[in-house]
Structures are given as C-alpha cells and as structure tokens.
C-alpha cells in the first residue's frame, strides 16, 4: 500500500471512529462492548483495505463490518450475558436522560438484526435500499424488521410509562 493510501486510511479511521462508536453503542447498549466492537471493526477495515489495496466505498465497508461483527458476536453463546447497574457518564436533564435510557433499554431488548436495521435506518439515516444492500437482505425484509422493531420499541416505551 502506498503512503498516500496509508495516510487516507489513517484519516478515515481518525475521522469515523466517533461515528462508528455512536452506532456501536446503540447496537450494544454498553460503552465497553461498543468500544471493543469499534476496535475490532477498525482492525478488520484496515486489514481488508490493505489486503485489497483499494479504498473504494470504505464508509459502507466499515458500516457493514460493524453490523456483521455485532450480529456474529450475538450468535455466540458466551456473549448472552447481560450487564446491569450502569450509571451514565455525563449527567443530563432528568427527562432526556430517563427517556434515552428507556429507549436504549428497549433497543437492547430487540433481536440483533432488528436492532441493526433500526440503527442503520434511523441513526445512520440510510434508505431502505442502502440498508438492505449493507445487510445483504431484501428490502421487504428490512421493512418488516423496521415495522416489527418499531412496534416492539413503542410497546416497551408505553409499558415503561404505565
């Protein structure tokens, strides 16, 4: 790999780490696990880019690697443990913090693919077609995962308010 390509790869990692972390946090619901997921994803992206010698569509490759790494980690039996009792790092407004915690808890209760679809569609602001392409599924599957995931989120949030 040339110096210019290596510098471009380094700039990509520096520029996208925070955005990938935010998506990973929404997927995982745990700061430490999200950091591990981003680190694993960036290692895979750097190795893949160096192996193939191309930097085309690096953003999409990084997102797909992040989601695929998350989903494959959720399939492993030993990853099914749950962490409890976390405090927020930065105190915020009471209503916003409570709502955010409630939504993240509801998001954590979804199946990994539904969670991935919702994060890509509403956090990353990808279209149905882009999400389907990224996850390797049909657009109708993305739509059904979106509808079911949103219904489950609404039910969980409604249940918390009652």
Structure tokens at 102: 């409630």
Structure tokens at 65: 């690697």
Looking at residue 91, its pLDDT comes to: 53
- Quick check: 103 pLDDT over 60? yes
Note the pLDDT tens digit of each residue in 107-144.
888 899 999 999 999 888 899 999 999 899 999 999 99
Note the pLDDT tens digit of each residue in 34-85.
999 999 999 998 888 878 766 678 888 899 999 999 988 877 655 555 555 6
Output the pTM of the full model. 0.56
Secondary structure (H, E, C), 49-64: HHHHCCCCCHHHHHHH
**Mean per-residue pLDDT for 89-114?**
75
Residues 6+ apart with CB under 8 A from 110: 118, 149, 152, 153
Looking at residue 35, its pLDDT comes to: 94
Place of tokens 């790999």: 1
């Amino acid at each position: 790999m040339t110096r210019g390509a290596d510098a471009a790869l380094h700039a990509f990692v520096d520029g996208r780490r925070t955005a990938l972390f935010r998506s990973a946090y929404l997927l995982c619901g745990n700061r430490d696990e999200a950091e591990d997921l981003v680190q694993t994803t960036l290692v895979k992206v750097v190795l893949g880019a160096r192996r193939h010698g191309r930097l085309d569509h690096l953003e999409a490759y990084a997102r797909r690697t992040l989601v695929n790494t998350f989903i494959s980690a959720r399939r492993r039996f030993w990853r099914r443990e749950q962490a409890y009792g976390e405090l927020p790092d930065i105190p915020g407004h009471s209503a916003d913090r409570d709502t955010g915690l409630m939504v993240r808890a509801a998001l954590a209760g979804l199946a990994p693919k539904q969670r991935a679809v919702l994060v890509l569609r509403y956090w990353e602001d990808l279209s149905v077609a882009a999400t389907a392409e990224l996850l390797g599924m049909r657009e109708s599957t993305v739509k059904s995962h979106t509808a079911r995931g949103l219904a489950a989120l609404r039910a969980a949030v409604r249940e918390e308010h009652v």
